[in-house]
Amino acid sequence: MIQTVLAIETSCDDTSVAVVADGGWVRSVVSANQDLAHSPFGGIVPEIAGRNHSVNTLPLVDQALKSANHVWDQIDGIVVTNRPGLIGSLIVGLVTAKSLAQVRGLPLIGVNHLEGHIMAPLLKDPNYQPPNDFDFPFLALVVSGGHTTIYLASSFGKYEVLGGTRDDAAGEAFDKFAKALGLGWPGGVKVDQLSKGGNSKAFDFPRGMIKEDNFDMSFSGLKASGMRLIGSLNAAEVAEKMSDLCASYQEAIVEVLLAKLEKAVQKTGIRHAVITGGVSANSRLRERAEQWSVQKKVQLVVPPLRYCTDNAAMVGFAGLLRLQNGERSELSLGPAPSSLAGDFQGMDL
């Protein structure tokens, strides 16, 4: 029986390694953030990401085992994110995972990063556990720098894409706006902080596709409108209106996300939902989602920040369940930039 796995996540810019045990118990999760390396370029530079992963991954493997107080004999399998993501980044995690699996004689399983995000709210540690009665089926709003999608998770491994952004991810919309305001990259968290005390009605930003009777969203119109507005103001005006600009822009994103999640609840009748991905760290999204869930009697689980942003624990749990179901990947497993046919139903590949 596979009880404990070591998981490696290198799909984008964060390197993360975790030890995860049966039931989703996180024994350790250690990560190396690369923000400082990419921020001078205002976005992720794939080659730099890959090079940093190759420096970070093995030391993090040692650290994850140490901080879990585990030795190799206590590890029953190796999990790795092999899709979707930046190819140069995925390769580093894959090569490491395959070598470890071979050297240690352990089974290997490649996992879809997005399945990790969907499973993140079900992780457990001494300081976090989802409610006892929370289970499938649930709706999952995965909202990050690269993805903004609503899934219907009917059971483990069975996920249907209900809808999502037709253009930019919500995190990207946050980051581009922050960059135009001179707040650096990634700027979502800065927009969040500067929104505090701002008037969210000061500027009327578009809410793309909010009225359409589907689960799709669009953030490119919002982004363009934000750029236009910033371009029409001088530096002193931007500084003076900073809080109002951030609060109004943030409100537009939060409203679209919650309106579509609400539509998913109405259409499916499922009253259990999770919100995960880096943007679920947003304090206004958390606040309004919480109010919404109470009003609409939806059981909502938003995991703590450490499981919202990219991390290997979420991937480890998905991989552990797959290994326990008897699934195995070949050592020829390759990386893929996108999800694969069969990963999600209703997916537009």
Q: Which residues bind ligand KG4 (CB under 6 A)?
A: 12, 144-146, 171, 174-175, 186, 188-189, 192, 277-279, 281-282, 309-310
The stretch among 30-38, 95-103, 309-317, 330-338 that binds Zn ion (CB under 5 A) is: 309-317
Quote the CA–CA distance of 11 and 274 in Å, as a whole number: 22
The site string for Zn ion over 121-150 (x = CB under 5 A, - otherwise) reads -----------------------x------
Distances (CA, A) of 167 to 47, 96, 173, 208: 24, 33, 10, 10
Pick from ligand KG4, Zn ion, none: which does 309 bind, CB < 5 to 8 A by kind?
Answer: ligand KG4
- Whether the link from the prior residue into 107 is cis, omega within 30° of 0, is no
Identify which of residues 34 and 144 has a Cβ nearer to Zn ion in the complex.
144
The stretch among 53-61, 65-73, 74-82, 310-318 that binds Zn ion (CB under 5 A) is: 310-318
Q: Alpha helix locations (H) across 43-154?
A: 46-68, 87-104, 113-119
Contact status, residue 315 vs residue 62, Cβ threshold 8 Å? no
Contact status, residue 316 vs residue 18, Cβ threshold 8 Å? yes
Angle (nearest 5°) at CA 157 between 169 and 314: 60
Pick from ligand KG4, Zn ion, none: which does 307 bind, CB < 5 to 8 A by kind?
Answer: none
Identify which of residues 173 and 320 has a Cβ nearer to ligand KG4 in the complex.
173
**Is 3 exposed, middle or buried (CB count within 10 Å of its CB: 0-12, 13-18, 19+)?**
middle
Angle (nearest 5°) at CA 148 between 56 and 150: 120
Cβ atoms < 10 Å from Cβ of 74: 15
Q: Is 293 among the residues that bind Zn ion (CB under 5 A)?
A: no
Q: Is 14 among the residues that bind Zn ion (CB under 5 A)?
A: no
Identify which of residues 23 and 337 has a Cβ nearer to ligand KG4 in the complex.
337
Pick from ligand KG4, Zn ion, none: which does 138 bind, CB < 5 to 8 A by kind?
Answer: none
Angle (nearest 5°) at CA 54 between 50 and 55: 120
Identify which of residues 4 and 11 has a Cβ nearer to ligand KG4 in the complex.
11
CB of 345 to Zn ion, least distance (A): 21
CA 320 vs. chain centroid, Å, equals 19
Q: Is 76 among the residues that bind Zn ion (CB under 5 A)?
A: no
CB of 185 to ligand KG4, least distance (A): 8
CB of 344 to Zn ion, least distance (A): 15
Pick from ligand KG4, Zn ion, none: which does 110 bind, CB < 5 to 8 A by kind?
Answer: none
The token pair at 99 is: 């070598």
Beta-bridged to residue 26, according to DSSP, are 20
Identify which of residues 246 and 300 has a Cβ nearer to ligand KG4 in the complex.
246
Pick from ligand KG4, Zn ion, none: which does 171 bind, CB < 5 to 8 A by kind?
Answer: ligand KG4
Residues that bind Zn ion (CB under 5 A): 144, 310
